[in-house]
Amino acid sequence: MSNRLFKLFAITFILTLVIAPFAALAGQDNWSYDQNDDEEEDDDYRWKTWRTHRSHGGFSGFGGFYFNAQTFESSDLENLATSMGLDEFDSFVPMWGGMGMGHVGDGWRIGGGGHGGHAYTDGVYTAGDGKQYNRSLELDIGMGGFMFEYSPWMFGPVNFGFGAMLGGGGVSVIMSQDTGTYTWGDLNNQYIGDPSDGENIRTQIDQGFFIAEPYVTVRVHILDWMALQGNAGYTWTSLRTDNWEFNENELTGDGPEIDLNKPFFRLGLVFGG
């Protein structure tokens, strides 16, 4: 993952850790404990656990990690991979992430999360003179933001709901080529004197974007404090072909078209109380 995407994911994850505890506290009608208020305590218990007849979602506050499969399509990258002598990409980007949320009343939760990953294809190209080159093409993606859910329906240990994530992200396309053996002189020589075609080169273009991800969620409580979570939703982004940057300078003309406006699927574990 590129440094820019790693920083985005790290910041999002830190914000998640900060937001979730306060969101959980916000969901408590009374922060102090009153032993005489048994009726209010019983009402509070109804949405905290699936062991009662009625529930508002199982957890007052929770956090966890998940695997995210983001589907995408890009004929430009597929054609580039073929031209580089590489296999085509898979139809999805495997991503890992984390999230945290807190109950704020009546089945509503707020929090934050983020995930990142990359699609990768590589191979060996043999030139006309018999010399071999290692080549790779990589698509890095990171995204995260504010999350909210409405999750009041529970049947036994199974909790249903829907929600959305609103935020931002970044995407990088990275092309690289090398001979497998190189020295510092081999590398810096490509930047000295008149430019020439390099044998050991790496090129990266980047673009930031906004996202909106509505989704449905299902949680199956394995224990009172742990649940298996599945999500399915759709990603909308502001990605454009005319908004790519190279070394923080905008490209002249269009870059590759990458369609991330596609379904996504998540599976993970969450922990709470």
pLDDT digits (tens, 9 = 90+) for 150-175: 988 888 889 999 999 999 999 999 99
Contact 72, 260 (CB under 8 A): yes
Model confidence, pTM: 0.78
Give tens-digit pLDDT for 223-254: 888 999 999 999 999 999 999 999 999 999 99
DSSP β-ladder status, 132-155 and 245-246 = unpaired
Specify the 3-state DSSP secondary structure of 186.
helix
Question: What H or E segment, with its residue span, contains residue 20?
Answer: helix 3-26
Question: What percent of the chain shows pLDDT beyond 70?
Answer: 78
User: What is the dihedral sign for C-alpha 266, 256, 4, 118?
Assistant: positive
Q: Which CATH architecture has domain 3-26+57-272?
A: Beta Barrel (2.40)
Exposed/middle/buried for 60, CB within 10 Å: 0-12, 13-18, 19+?
buried
User: What is the DSSP-derived secondary structure letter of residue 251?
Assistant: P
Contact 5, 142 (CB under 8 A): yes
What pLDDT is stored for residue 51 in this prediction? 45
Please state the domain extents for the chain. Answer: 3-26+57-272
The amino acid that residue 259 corresponds to is: D
